[in-house]
A and B are shown apart, each in its own frame.
Chain A
Amino acid sequence: MTIPLADVNVEALSIFAVIVAITLGITYWASQRTKDATTFWAAGRGITGAQNGFAIAGDYMSAASFLGIAGLIFLFGFDGFLYSVGFLVAFLVVLFLLAERMRNSGKFTMADVLSFRLNERPARVAAALGTLSVVAFYLIAQMVGAGALINELVGIDFSLAVIATGAFMLVYVVFGGMLATTWVQIIKAVLLMAATVVLSLFVLGKIGWNPVDLFNRAEAQSDDGAAYLEPGLRFDNPIDTISLGLGLVLGTAGLPHILMRFFTVPDAKAARTSVVWAVGLIGAFYVMTTFLGFGARALLGEAGATGGVDEAGNLAAPLLAQEVGGGDGTVGGDAFLAIIAAVAFATILAVVAGLVISASGAVAHDVWSNVVRKGHDSEHEEVYVARIAAFMIGAIAIVIAVIGGSDLNVSYMVGLAFAVAASANFPALILALTWKRFNTTGAVTGVLCGVISSIGLVLVGPDVRSDPLIELTQPAIISVPLGFLGCILGTLLSKEEGKAERQFEELHVRAETGIGAEQPVDSAGLTPRPRRKVPAGATTTLRT
């Protein structure tokens, strides 16, 4: 199949350039303010609840959601929509169980909470392992996806696209830290929501403002007929469907880059407000994936079974934009395609920046400062190491993506990242926060069980092997119980630790009430208004 957009898309490149210029400006502004560790890792804890809600949405909705889900619905109908539902319901777990507790008890990373009352060094290493495994799969999938997409949408070479994406990602994180990352994510969320609303309205207009008619027309265009509107086209094994649901719902609550966002707000109240904002935005977005996916089927299907869409379905949304804008070759069609391509690019940048900063937290704050240097290094050193770590992590991801090339099979990697998060990070975190008896051995064995079982199950499964040892594409239904079992058996079979018993009350009371929670740094100048720096002390005098 030939790609219909072989030439370089100048309109898309110009919109890219505008987005990049704005985000680089923000990065410069942020870099001027990033002087200490709290600003680098947590944006000084000065992000408001609503801002953080947008940033969570921007951090969470990857190109896999925007283009991938639209494509999955286009290809598989109802089964594609299962992802949309799972991605949203997951936030109830985050809201009820983790958001406020993370903010109250943590500092910069997930490991701060996990190791709070455990034997610090092994617990931090375990948490860093969980974080880095999730980020590795997620990041490589995003980078390869970015390269392939930009290649197809804009016409620039795959390797160049990967390197450009990686370079911008590194500039945001290395120079601007969490402050720049946050604003890149907020801008991306606004762009993504706006583009999706406009595209949905165009689709609805095309089909005569009758959403129900969308299903009929989509069904009529599908080779699968009535089955297109029923479950089962993507997953013929019901266990896979259930396993996917479990992995999505618990995995979100174990994603290190999402959990890290809760350290950027001033208090637990803002953390909870931010989840509610995120739920509103993410929910609205996933409802609209209906219009994108079924709309692409209904409107593009007329051009044949694939309508020019690639095998993975990633081009469904951009081609739909082109179609409703007036079609290939028209001014409106090309402009709309360029806008969607640019939004997809912004989407990828925001997610990979969030991933890299959380991974650099695991390396610099957890492993370097608290394991290697045992907390004796300076803040300055930690931020310095963080920048080097971010650079190395980004460089490794770029090299793997370029060497692997666009043929690297990444389709299972985002699912695997969720499975590792659900099986390794979530059980250890939730038990550390709620189970008094839980100890270091339990945390280490639990994380190891979760990481090994989820990766192992995928390696022997149908996505990787042509002669699979197990007919299960989604590992969560086995690996999540194994993760919990590892935590529980590891705890019960080892001796009780005096230290853990003594400090559980501190963690427990702190997590529930916020007594002793880390305070925001003076938030003067942390709003993005381009204003002159307020002299130190000016705000404190106002307060008294």
Chain B
Amino acid sequence: MAEARRAPGAASTVAGPAHYEEIDWERAARSSEFHELERSRRSFVVPATIFFVCWYFGFIILAGYAPDFMGESIYEGFTVGYLIALSQFVMVWVLAGLYLRRANHVFDPLAKRVAEHTPGAEAYTGNGGASRSAAAQTAGTGDGQRHEREVTS
């Protein structure tokens, strides 16, 4: 099964990543499905990145230029600076968790749709497990419905 998924002519594995001539990449890149995936991903990643860059570098700049403010005690030696530092940990965990959820529920189904609409690429749905999707393809008629639920949810 592993062999069937390899590109024809990609027998040698010392070269770089396999090249798939049979897939029309330009058409895939122009497709509305791909644009929707990009839009969807960007609508999360761009604001999240702006937020963490501001929050983190705000912290670093305050540490550099306002040591007195950062050293102010909130409660018995627990300082403003330490509180902001701890908030960075919470921020990373929350953003990582949100990204994971969004990617699993929104980005992956969209990526799968791009693959389904790209001739020659139906078998390669790398996000979410090619082996799983290959197994699903052999699983029979129930697969279509399950897949639709995934996309709409």
Chain A interface residues toward B at CB < 8 A? 36-38, 78-79, 81-82, 84-86, 88-89, 91-92, 95-97, 100, 103-107, 112-113, 115-116, 120, 212-213, 215-216, 219, 226-227, 229-232, 235, 238-242, 244-245, 249, 266-270, 272-273, 275-276, 279-280, 283, 286-287, 365, 369-370, 373, 375-379, 381-382, 503, 505-506, 508-510, 512-522, 540, 543-544
Contacts and interface: CB of A to CB of B under 8 A. Distances in A.
A280 B93 CA distance: 7
Contacts of A375: 12, 14-16
B147 interface: no
A81 B92 contact: no
B32 interface: no
Main secondary structure of the interface of A (DSSP, over half): helix
Given A283-B93, A544-B138, A512 B111 contact: yes
Contacts of A212: 75-78
Contact of A276 (B7, B60, B88, B97): B97
Contacts of B135: 543
Given A241-B64, A375-B12, A519-B5, 12 more contacts: A78-B63, A78-B79, A89-B88, A96-B49, A106-B17, A215-B78, A242-B64, A245-B60, A378-B12, A505-B28, A515-B28, A517-B126
A92 B92 contact: yes
Contact of B100 (A227, A235, A276, A512): A276
Contacts, number: 250
Specify which of B16, B77, B79, B108 lies most central, judged by the most chain A CB atoms within 10 Å of its CB.
Answer: B16
B109 to A, nearest CB: 11
B129 interface: yes
Nearest to B91: A89
Nearest to A227: B71
Contacts of B65: 238
B19 to A, nearest CB: 7
B124 A82 contact: no
Nearest to A364: B14
Contacts of B70: 78, 230-231
B71 A231 contact: yes
Contacts of B127: 100, 104, 267-269, 513-514
11 contacts: A78-B85, A216-B76, A219-B77, A226-B71, A266-B129, A266-B130, A365-B14, A506-B19, A513-B115, A516-B121, A543-B1
B23 A230 contact: no
